[in-house]
Structure 1
Amino acid sequence: MVSTSGRPSVAPSAHSPALPAACTVHERFAAQARRTPDAVAVAQGEAVLTYRQLDERAERLAHELAGCGVGPGDPVAVLMERSPHLVVAILAALKAGGCYLPLHAADPAERMRRVLERAGSPVLLADRATRERGLPEGGGRTVVVDADAGAGGGAPAGGLPAGDADGTAYVIHTSGSTGEPKGVAVTHRGVLGLVDDSAWDGGAHDRVLALAPYAFGVSTYELWVPLLRGGTMVLPPPGSPGVRTVRRLIAEHRITALHVTAGLFRLFAEEAPDSFATVAEVLTGGDTISPTAVRRVLDACPDTVVRAMYGATEVSSFAACAVLTAPFTPSGPIPVGRPLDTVQARLLDEELRPVPDGGTGELYLAGERLAAGYFGRPDLTAERFVTDPHTEPGVRMYRTGDLMRRGPHGLEFAGRVGDQVKIRGFRVEPGEVEHALARQPGVAHAAVVARQPEGGGEKQLHAYVVAREPGLDLAAVRRAAAEELPDYLVPAHFTELAALPLTANGKLDRAALPAPQTPRRAAEAPPVSPVDDARQEALCALFAWVLGIPSISPDDSFFALGGQSLQAMRLATRIEAEFGVEVTVGDVLNHPTVAELDVRLRELAETVVPPAEVA
């Protein structure tokens, strides 16, 4: 069922009463550290940091950053693997008076370089692992935060700037229609508005498993809700943890809440729906949530609450939610739900007038959670953050681009305004992808649309390109795009056209773009000598099933056939179930053909000690 109250009943929190008000994120953390100095703030395996240790180490690093010239409002870039030292680095950037600018290690180096240069070549915080792999160009001085950073002595006294509630806490980059990612500047006030929401009351969010990359907006919840409420942030190992790893972490760390994307939630529902049985709440969203997946999870975990989350980086992450509980019978799409405490939701027409009851309007969000705007882009800020005509002068609201209506359980999604789409939980501007493709040698024009595969599944980007001259190598165009764009922006399929279809007034006619053909196997290669014919045949079948194509050969590349990270996770899960060997997403991504993965499986099998040999 869908809860009408929006507030499930859970056990009281061990961390009440509420803390005194503080105007910045780091001031609030310092107050919590004084209150519970010996409580565990961050855990990763056996490595833990108490609140006192985290506060002192971040304070020491903050003084080092101040010595590097970091002052109020200055961005501090962060490029690190997932670890407790990452949390030290983020908190230190705030304590120094700056804001953290997270870089996603999976992004191409060229994209990171552009982000750094637009930020004025800021100080870059890195760890030894990322330094050894090579740091992107465009940054300023690099400070390596390693295992010994800030470990000795107490925190230096004084000398750091005072906080500002309306100052920028972080800048996260999202897809931009002009071909350049846009940086959303989120304020301390916005973060604290999310943290203080009553959705997190009651103890269900005391031990949060942080699965999202720290360069994504969901990390605001994963990082600051537990840390500013006296809870524990639990970090998985570096990389993309699979279903088996997440199940193990939930059990070992007694996880009470976590967020998974809609696509990953569906994977859990299909492969291991009982994974969340001991979790108080599992949050999901970012794209269309499968009602069938919700039913499967709640059938297997009747005591768990599923929260369908809606939000945007521009409103400090989550803005609305629907609470789903057992028994659950799907009766239509999952609703967006009701706004969180300090968020005002308005459904307006093209003249910014409220739509009548039952009508469909564009969703505008207002309140203290709004971001300051887009970093260095006053023009784009003015376009998306507009004056609210329904309150006192000077108050802004954010134009989401989502069409919605009001239903019995709150807001209901009704479509998108314009071209922006959702891919794997990310708001994607096809224009950014089109710009990247049009820059490739040999490409005259490009168009990108999102399509849902036949038979259902997650939406995928499809690229249509017009060649400057015959003989365009589409595989080379895809490889070049992957060097410039993050994984979720690289189209799954490419189609070459003689010309792009146009409307009568000369604009691109996206509706007239042909449906892409089902990907075929790569051209037949000379026969290979398989290590294990039966195993390779089974692997080929699994690859084809995950990719939604009839068949593949042992030398076809997972990437060349449109494979992406969520499909890699699904493939790893199925391989584990069929072969009894624990396979990571990294194994699939680093061995993208059946022939290569076959060899890797043999290596993994040889490292497993038979039960009879265990002492």
Structure 2
Amino acid sequence: MLTSAEQQQLLWEWNDTDADYDRDVCVHQLFEQAVARAPHRTAVVWGANVAVGSERWTYAELNERANKLAHHLRRLGVGPETPVGIYVERSLEMILAVLAVLKAGGAYVPLDPIHPPERLAFICQDAGIALLLTQTHLAGKLPLPERPVLHLDADWPRIAQESDQNPPNISRPEHLVYIVYTSGSTGQPKGVMLEHGNLRHAYYGWQQLYQLGRQPLRHLQMASFSFDVFSGDLTRALCSGDTLVLCPRETLLQPDKLAQLIVTENITAAEFVPAVLRLLVAHLEQNGGDLRQFHFLSVGSDAWHVRDHRCTQQLCGPHTIFANTYGVTEATIDSSYFRHSTDTLSDDQITPIGRPYPNVRLYVLDDALQPVPAGVAGELYIGGAGVGRGYTNRPDLTDTRFMPNPFLPGEQLYKTGDLARFLPANGHSANEPSTLAGHIAFLGRADFQVKIRGFRVELGEIEAALQQHEKVQTATVVDFQSETGDRRLVAYIVPASDMIPATDELFAFLQKRLPDYMLPGHYVTLSQLPLSPNGKVNRRQLPVPDLSSRPQVAQPYVAPRTLAEEVLAELFGKVLGLQQVGIHDNFFELGGHSLLATQLAIRARDTFQIDLPLRAFFETPSIAGLAVAVEEALIEKLETLSEEEAALLLSS
């Protein structure tokens, strides 16, 4: 039993976060205020080509365009509670479309073209979008019968005839601002509904933590358009009168190019996922770079170890606000932050997720929704102004995850499914001194949701997709940590007959249905899945996979034939953690993904001393194909060298 003093501390003292701000102003109105303050300041930059130059709009230009589109959207019937799909490539038009939908009074539904059309079509239907904003070259890729489509390029001459003045605001804090879809355990993604008041609250918290609006900053926007962090990037920058620089996807995956973009565009603010920041920090350490120009730098969306935290902090300047953040889509992006010293923590510990943002309350509760003592594990619940409305068309799930706050009538709680504990005032060891009292330590998941490269993944959605394959009777999916340190998804399948599907067959099947970060890298065939006494899959009894063995693919193993193929085979093996790789094996079917492809590209450049573009590893993801590109690049390089330089290169 907790004493009254302990209850007071857990429920109230460590949740004393109430703060006043203007709750009736929407984020698009804050943007309009920024326009009025500095109309000629650069608002958004598309950093598509550092060498040639970037496309950019001022605040006045962006606002006028957004106003024209907003007026046009209102003519088409867009208003409060109207979901509008935005299906565009990364571009200035992406930002324009979001602002226009908000100004029109609607709610935007982001649709990333890199995701499978089947998944996007489901999202459009489930969200009930009334209109689709897109670009001409994407037309036809996402069939939407009986829904109007507006092309931001081809239809712009007509849109441009509209007024460029701010439309009167018709949105209230309780109106929808966006619907973002996350992985769902039923086999389909689930839509999370957030309101204007939620996003306005989040901006206030960022404003306080990062001291926004005190000096002009340049924010690097890296998150996928379909990820809720995108909304945070946009809001932090454009509500503060700062500049938002859109990072091209291919630049994000190349730490040398990313470092160059940061310097060229004088980036001073950014939120990273751990996987990308680790690559950037390693590159900077190897090449004598740093992050001292940053005013604020945050890392979130996945667990972040103290070792990585320290390495990053050492590259920052003394003035840099460096924070480890925690949040969920259902509670508006960020709910807590950690800025405390890690001096007393060990390298292999997970960095604490810290304390709640302003107007956020965090509870660690038991199964009876009662607080557990500090130092004891429980489930993390989030309360306060960030908790969203619920899930689209899923009242059952909404009732399960969103509930009345038993400690504060009139407020909602969100059940995160994350395990956590408050660090105690006295500490259990030297690793948890009293200076961290009241901070929260993240311990993992209480269910079958995992984080893969910063993305939430419900394993049940992958299992449901696998079981749609005609050769699969049943399947279960788990995640393992490989020898290379990254998390790997492993699918255990029971075939429907004697015809066992090959890895590449299953890969191609799932690729049409799931985003790339949800594709298993390894498959294990079983005659049956182990069951517990209650009939559920006993995941602890599943055989541990040999992640170092070559997956079962249709093509036979073919050994390297040339020196270039031998070197590439060794590089493939090191990056993938495999003992053997055939020259015709597909890198991605062997468990590779975009971040591993980046590591492979860096190693190949260092080994062969040639500038091999990252896209080559996506266009020809086999050793045989890449060897041709390597040999051609080496020949081209030799032709530009003198005889002495060529002899020196060949001898090395």
Of the three residues 522, 526, 548, the one matched with 2:577 is 548
- CA-to-aligned-CA distance 1:335-364 (integer Å, 9 cap, x gap): 111111121111111111111222222111
1:519 and 2:549 are equivalent in the alignment: yes
Of the three residues 279, 301, 308, the one matched with 1:293 is 308
Give the direction of change, closer, same or farther, for the CA distance of 1:61–1:581 in structure 2 (3 Å limit).
farther
SS at match of 1:272: helix
- Give the counterpart letter for 2:27 in structure 1: V
Of the three residues 63, 66, 70, the one matched with 1:55 is 63
SS at match of 2:327: strand
Give the direction of change, closer, same or farther, for the CA distance of 1:119–1:502 in structure 2 (3 Å limit).
same
Which residue is 1:283 aligned to?
A: 298
2:601 touches 2:614 (CA, 8 Å); kept in 1? yes
2:64 touches 2:165 (CA, 8 Å); kept in 1? no
- Give the counterpart letter for 1:255 in structure 2: I
- Give the counterpart letter for 1:144 in structure 2: H
Which residue is 1:3 aligned to?
A: none
Once residues 204 and 575 of structure 1 are traced to their aligned partners in structure 2, the CA distance between those partners, rounded to angstroms, is 42
Residues paired across the two proteins, number: 590
- Give the counterpart letter for 1:349 in structure 2: D
Once residues 169 and 401 of structure 2 are traced to their aligned partners in structure 1, the CA distance between those partners, rounded to angstroms, is 31
Aligned-residue offset at 1:221: 1.9
Give the direction of change, closer, same or farther, for the CA distance of 1:494–1:36 in structure 2 (3 Å limit).
same
Which residue is 1:266 aligned to?
A: 278
Aligned-residue offset at 1:122: 3.1
Which residue is 2:464 aligned to?
A: 435
Which residue is 1:141 aligned to?
A: 148
SS at match of 1:391: coil
1:114 touches 1:138 (CA, 8 Å); kept in 2? no
TM-score normalised according to structure 1 size: 0.89
Once residues 226 and 344 of structure 1 are traced to their aligned partners in structure 2, the CA distance between those partners, rounded to angstroms, is 25
What is the percent sequence identity of the aligned residues?
33
Q: How does 1:204-219 map to 2 (within 5 A)?
A: 206-219=217-230
Aligned-residue offset at 1:305: 4.6
Range that drifts further, 93-102 or 515-524: 515-524
1:433 touches 1:448 (CA, 8 Å); kept in 2? yes
Once residues 325 and 535 of structure 1 are traced to their aligned partners in structure 2, the CA distance between those partners, rounded to angstroms, is 47
2:87 touches 2:112 (CA, 8 Å); kept in 1? yes
Once residues 92 and 607 of structure 1 are traced to their aligned partners in structure 2, the CA distance between those partners, rounded to angstroms, is 49
Once residues 84 and 139 of structure 1 are traced to their aligned partners in structure 2, the CA distance between those partners, rounded to angstroms, is 28
- Give the counterpart letter for 1:119 in structure 2: A
Q: How does 1:315-334 map to 2 (within 5 A)?
A: 315-323=331-339, 330-331=346-347, 332-334=349-351
Of the three residues 444, 448, 460, the one matched with 2:477 is 448
1:57 touches 1:155 (CA, 8 Å); kept in 2? no
- Give the counterpart letter for 1:252 in structure 2: T
Aligned-residue offset at 1:176: 0.7
RMSD: 2.9
Contiguous gaps of at least 5 residues in structure 2: 1-19, 48-53, 424-434, 643-652
SS at match of 1:276: coil
Aligned-residue offset at 1:569: 2.0
Which residue is 2:402 aligned to?
A: 385
Range that drifts further, 596-605 or 207-216: 596-605
- Give the counterpart letter for 1:383 in structure 2: T
1:255 and 2:267 are equivalent in the alignment: yes
Once residues 636 and 28 of structure 2 are traced to their aligned partners in structure 1, the CA distance between those partners, rounded to angstroms, is 45
Aligned-residue offset at 1:545: 1.0
1:257 touches 1:282 (CA, 8 Å); kept in 2? yes
TM-score normalised according to structure 2 size: 0.84
Once residues 510 and 21 of structure 1 are traced to their aligned partners in structure 2, the CA distance between those partners, rounded to angstroms, is 47
- CA-to-aligned-CA distance 1:407-456 (integer Å, 9 cap, x gap): 25310012321222222112221111111111111111110111111x36
Aligned-residue offset at 1:147: 9.0
- CA-to-aligned-CA distance 1:140-173 (integer Å, 9 cap, x gap): 2221113994795783457666111111111110
- Give the counterpart letter for 1:490 in structure 2: L
Which residue is 2:209 aligned to?
A: 199
- CA-to-aligned-CA distance 1:31-86 (integer Å, 9 cap, x gap): 22112211111012421111111111011111222233322211111111111111
Once residues 138 and 239 of structure 1 are traced to their aligned partners in structure 2, the CA distance between those partners, rounded to angstroms, is 33
Q: How does 1:499-510 map to 2 (within 5 A)?
A: 499-510=528-539
Q: How does 1:20-419 map to 2 (within 5 A)?
A: 23-45=25-47, 46-131=54-139, 134-137=141-144, 140-146=147-153, 149=156, 155-157=163-165, 162-197=170-205, 198-201=208-211, 206-239=217-250, 241=252, 242-273=254-285, 274-301=289-316, 303=318, 304-323=320-339, 330-331=346-347, 332-392=349-409, 394-407=410-423, 408-409=435-436, 410-419=439-448
SS at match of 1:171: strand
1:403 touches 1:415 (CA, 8 Å); kept in 2? yes
- Give the counterpart letter for 2:526 in structure 1: L
Range that drifts further, 396-405 or 544-553: 544-553
1:564 and 2:593 are equivalent in the alignment: yes
Which residue is 1:13 aligned to?
A: none
Aligned-residue offset at 1:285: 2.4
- Give the counterpart letter for 1:210 in structure 2: Q
SS at match of 2:486: coil
- Give the counterpart letter for 2:597 in structure 1: A
- Give the counterpart letter for 2:295 in structure 1: A
Once residues 198 and 85 of structure 2 are traced to their aligned partners in structure 1, the CA distance between those partners, rounded to angstroms, is 20
